[in-house]
Amino acid sequence: MTVMLEIADLHVAYGQVEAVRGVTLSLHSGQIVSVIGPNGAGKTTLLAAAMGLLPARGVLRLDGQDLHALDVQTRVERGLCLVPEQRELFGALSVLDNLQLGAYVRRLRPEALRRRLQSVYERFPRLAERRAQRADTLSGGERQMLALGRALMSAPRLLMLDEPSLGLAPLIVREILAIVRQLRADGVSILLVEQNARAALESSDHGYVLETGEIALAGPSRALAQDPRVQATYLGAS
């Protein structure tokens, strides 16, 4: 397996305050890698820096290429895509319009756009049924599906998901994570940021624990889930 995303000694600051402090993390092609940790640990900041939404210092490479000099659009063209925590859908627009906006940066020909839309509808039949519905009338689970579907419209190779389980009922969380695993099977690599440590570790190959901007623990997800420190702090066991 080749290293797809390489992050080393990464620092990200808001003014004087460093939110990410020397993070080292790597993701191999075809993996689901999870980053778990409490509120305010720096998870969202890490993803924003990888996407190019925030300046960062340190090693940041995709497929061996330095990302620092590339703007967000170019990173999308290289196959990176971020699904933000707040989903950031256009509430007054239809499901279809939201999906089409996801492909906007890729400047697709109508035929390619149609094909991609078809594949998203096949993956999310519920979105197909609701294609004309306003996004702000969707349920929480449907909204997360729309956010994922919109991201897929940009044909990502590495999808970064910021708390896809946030605010969703356990059954819907399971459904969303099954879709994430299916995406991996279809060749999309996934960087999964979650406060729901149990769900994240169950669904990922490798995991990192981020605490106050630093990696506190890392390892294969199955081993991390057995780690007494992880169990006590993040899995609710004593």
In the bound state with ligand ATP, the residue whose beta carbon lies nearer, of 124 and 194, is 194
The answer to the question of residue 215 lying near ligand ATP (CB under 6 A) is no
Distance CA 142, CA 136 (A): 10
The answer to the question of residue 87 lying near ligand ATP (CB under 6 A) is no
Q: How many residues sit in the footprint of ligand ATP (CB under 6 A)?
A: 12
- The distance of closest approach from Cβ of residue 169 to ligand ATP in the complex, given in angstroms and rounded to an integer, is 19
In the bound state with ligand ATP, the residue whose beta carbon lies nearer, of 180 and 210, is 210
Nearest to 180 by CA among 213, 203, 201: 203
Distance CA 170, CA 167 (A): 9
What order do you get walking across the sheet with 206-211 strand by strand? 80-83, 158-162, 189-194, 32-36, 206-211, 214-220
The answer to the question of residue 44 lying near ligand ATP (CB under 6 A) is yes
Angle between helices 140-152 and 170-185 (to 10 degrees): 10
Distance CA 144, CA 89 (A): 9
The answer to the question of residue 195 lying near ligand ATP (CB under 6 A) is yes
Stretch in the footprint of ligand ATP (CB under 6 A) among 11-19, 87-95, 104-112, 145-153:
11-19
- The distance of closest approach from Cβ of residue 16 to ligand ATP in the complex, given in angstroms and rounded to an integer, is 10
Please pick, from the candidates 31, 42, 98, 199, the single residue that binds ligand ATP as defined by CB under 6 A. Answer: 42
The answer to the question of residue 19 lying near ligand ATP (CB under 6 A) is yes
Distance CA 171, CA 141 (A): 10
Task: List residues near ligand ATP by CB under 6 A.
Answer: 14, 17, 19, 37, 39-45, 195
